[in-house]
Amino acid sequence: MAVFQRPERVVSKERRKKMRKKLCVRAGLLLSILLISCAIITVNIYFPEKEVKEAYKALEKELMTPEEKKPEGTPEKKTETPPQSSIRWEWVPSAMAQESELSGKISDAVKKMPDVVAAYKEMGARLPQIDRLRDSGAVGEGKNGLLAVREERGVTPSDRSLISAENENRGTVMNGMARAIVRINRVPENEQNIRQVMPQAVEQFASVRRSSAKKGWWVQESDGNWSRK
């Protein structure tokens, strides 16, 4: 005797199949998202504040000072670079803190960046004009490492062009320092790692600007308050 299934039972089986298929697809998507999220790992990068400050100062002294003209026929002194070891150094906070020449290594890393070297030289060339603006009180040293206009009336369109060019160069310098720190930590030089150390690179650059400010210049503290030295 033949058994016939009711139409509604056939329909319910089809629905269950579709439901199982949808659940499998959703489970696959969730698994993919989980795997991707696990693959994104944040690397902790050591940032030596004291050494970075010293590197900033050394770079300014070397790259922003006008070069003296040498007499013709004077041979240039070549600095020999010691051969690099094939051993891969693992940079950890304790090892880096004990390295007395760390600030020099940071400076060397920055000096290998043509865009940063060019920025320093341009800043050095316009230094007298920037000093004039700071002496007048029209501009001050902002907490973000950039020049900030304080008196609109005391700034001409030409001055604004100078300020804009100066701040563009300073941005290049701070970005270069962030890249140098990433390099000496031996981690990938990608946007994520550079962004991680950028706030500290900016903070230390601004700190150097405040400490080197002359009497009468306006400076902005890290808390946002302005004062005159």
pLDDT in tens, 101-136: 899 999 999 999 999 999 999 999 999 999 999 999
106 domain residue, yes or no: yes
Structure confidence at residue 30 (pLDDT): 61
219 domain residue, yes or no: yes
213 domain residue, yes or no: yes
109 domain residue, yes or no: yes
Task: Please count the structural domains in the chain.
Answer: 1
- Residue-wise pLDDT for 160-209, tens only, equals 999 999 999 999 999 999 999 999 999 999 999 999 999 999 999 999 99
Q: Which domain covers residue 110, as residue numbers?
A: 49-65+92-228
Q: Name residues whose C-beta falls within 8 Å of residue 136's C-beta, 6 or more positions apart in sequence.
A: 151, 154
56 domain residue, yes or no: yes
pTM: 0.71
Burial of 66 (0-12, 13-18, 19+ CB in 10 A): exposed
Q: Taking residues 217-222, what's their average pLDDT?
A: 96
Answer whether residue 83 shows pLDDT above 80.
no
160 domain residue, yes or no: yes
